[in-house]
Amino acid sequence: MHRIFVAALFLIGLSGCFGSGGPELGIVEGTVKLDGQPLEGATISFVPAAGGRTAEGFTDAEGHYAVEFAAGAKGALLGEHKVRITTLKEKVMSDSGRVADPGIPEKVPARFNSETELIRDVQPGQNIFDLDLQSK
């Protein structure tokens, strides 16, 4: 009798092995401020220094962000990342001369995006990276 139950438990345990794969990630979130003010509508990119897929997140009205690695997978790869923050959205004109998308100008200095100096090390588990940027 006990053997049957042990076998059943083993099989149930085995069925748990059919889980999702993918690389190990660390959860990354935090708040972005520019000159002390929360930065809304910015794109935060965590670019792995060793190569791999960039994880991205977007700030809300309070400047809070959480990055996503892939569909439904929160976080970023482990290890060192270059961090880029940008608010740029390019203006799009249509053929008929209308402005199809007005775009948003860049508010963040280049040393935080195209020539970023920000490096953050993502560890397993929860990572809180609050970024206080100065425009000068």
Partner 1 sequence: MSKITDTPHLSVACWSPFSCSKRRNAFTLVELLVVIAIIGVLIALLLPAVQQAREAARRMQCTNNLKQIGLALHNYHDTYQKFPNSYQPDKARWSVSSVPEGESALWTWTSFILPQVEQQNLYDSLQVGHLPGEVSLDDATRLGIAQSGFAGYQCPSSAAPPLNSERKIPAGSGGNADCTDAGCVEVATANYVCANDSHNLDRDNWNGFMGNDRTPSGFMTVSFADIVDGTSNTIAVGERTWQLASRTLRASTQLLMNGDSPNVSLQGNAYISAGGRWSLNCTNSQDCDRGFSSNHPGGAEFLLVDGSVHFISETIDHDTNSSVNSAYEYLICLDDGNPVDLP
Query: What is the residue whose two structure tokens read 């190990």?
Result: 24
- Residue 21 CA to residue 109 CA, distance in Å, equals 38
Say if strands 25-34 and 125-128 run parallel, antiparallel, or are unpaired. Answer: parallel
Of 29, 33, 52, 104, the one binding partner 1 (CB under 8 A) is: 52
Judged by CB under 8 A, which stretch of 45-53, 104-112, 117-125, 128-136 contacts partner 1?
45-53
How far is Cα 103 from Cα 106, in angstroms, rounded to an integer?
10
* Residues in 73-112 at the binding interface with partner 1, rule: CB under 8 A: 84, 90, 92-98, 100-101
Which of 53, 119, 124, 125 lies at the binding interface for partner 1 (CB under 8 A)? 53
By CB under 8 A, residue 23 contacts partner 1:
yes
Nearer to partner 1, 35 or 111 (CB): 111
- Closest among 92, 96, 81, 76 to 29, alpha carbons compared: 76
